[in-house]
Amino acid sequence: MNTYLSSLAEAPLFSGIQPSEIEALLACLNVRKRAIRKGSFVFRAGDPVEAVYLLLSGQLHIVDEDFWGNQSLIESMMPYILFGEAYVLASRAQHLVSVVATTDSVILETTALHLLEACPKKCTCHVKLMSNTMRILSQKIVRLTEKLEHITQRSMREKVLSYLSRCAREAQSASFHISYSRQQLADYLCVDRSALSHELSRLRKDGILRYQKNHFELLGTPFFNGS
């Protein structure tokens, strides 16, 4: 665990908490470190809700699986992302989605009781921890709302442009990188990969954008120029 203590201060969960307090908090939370091999699941849809998790290293995907095992990407998670807390707060008995490792990963897990209820010591850092958890959950709701904005567009072109426009606004630049591969972007937008590639080619031919692998440039004058 000591290997991660120095970098845990970067995690949003521990924002505003002194590094010297983090080690005591980890003991208070009774956390357990767990290694997840690439392709393995942290939990699957239908599994009982038992813990809250923090990704220490690697990459995880939140995926939705249908009856036949087809997967749709909901979100890609990088280190220091907290997950599983929404199910606890909603008093869900079972997970509705699955979390799978796309690389060898390491997570911390703790029971909901330790994370989301005030500890007997009433330490100020634990109060801050709960406040951080609520802020993280609120940010996730915003991200899911953004995804709904993209996938509810009527046409393939509108879905793609809605997503790329959002990326440009966040970067405050018409030129930006995206973190998704083509397959991951197709899963995120809930579209077929070949259809996505075809639409990107059409958009480039129509002079709306340029791209090279994961680098995109939207052509035209952005509305945020000079703002």
Q: All domains of the chain, ordered by start, with CATH? A: 2-148 (2.60.120.10), 153-218 (1.10.10.10)
pLDDT for 154 equals: 92
Single out the residue of 8, 11, 29, 17 nearest to residue 110, CA to CA.
29
State the angle between helix axes of 156-171 and 124-151 in degrees (0 to 180), rounded to the nearest 10. 140
Angle at 214 between CA 210 and CA 216, to 5 degrees: 30
* Burial class of residue 213 (count of CB atoms within 10 Å of its CB; 0-12, 13-18, 19+): exposed
pLDDT digits (tens, 9 = 90+) for 17-45: 888 888 888 888 888 999 999 999 999 99
pLDDT for 199 equals: 97
pLDDT for 2 equals: 59
pLDDT for 161 equals: 96
Site of tokens 């845990």: 8
User: Two tokens at 1?
Assistant: 């665990």
pLDDT average, residue stretch 41-56: 93
pLDDT for 125 equals: 82
Structure-model confidence comparison of residues 70 and 110, the more confident one: 110
* Residue 1 confidence (pLDDT) above 60: no
pLDDT for 226 equals: 44
Assessment of whether the complete model's pTM goes beyond 0.85: no
Structure-model confidence comparison of residues 71 and 152, the more confident one: 152
DSSP structure string for the chain: -HHHHHHHTTSGGGTT--HHHHHHHHHHHT-EEEEE-TT-EEE-TTSB---EEEEEES-EEEEEE-TT--EEEEEEE-TT-EESHHHHHTT-SB-SSEEEESS-EEEEEE-HHHHHS--TT--HHHHHHHHHHHHHHHHHHHHHHHHHHHHTSSSHHHHHHHHHHHHHHHHTSSEEE-S--HHHHHHHHTS-HHHHHHHHHHHHHTTSEEEETTEEEE-S--TTTT-
Single out the residue of 99, 127, 25, 102 nearest to residue 1, CA to CA.
25
* Identity of residue 37: R
pLDDT digits (tens, 9 = 90+) for 158-214: 999 999 999 999 999 999 999 888 988 998 898 999 999 999 999 999 999 999 999
* Residue 224 confidence (pLDDT) above 70: no
pLDDT for 115 equals: 72
pLDDT for 164 equals: 96
pLDDT for 227 equals: 39
pLDDT average, residue stretch 9-19: 87
Describe the strand order of the beta sheet including 32-36 as a list of residue ranges. 32-36, 105-110, 52-57, 82-83
Single out the residue of 18, 10, 15, 50 nearest to residue 34, CA to CA.
50
pLDDT digits (tens, 9 = 90+) for 105-134: 999 998 866 676 666 666 778 888 888 988
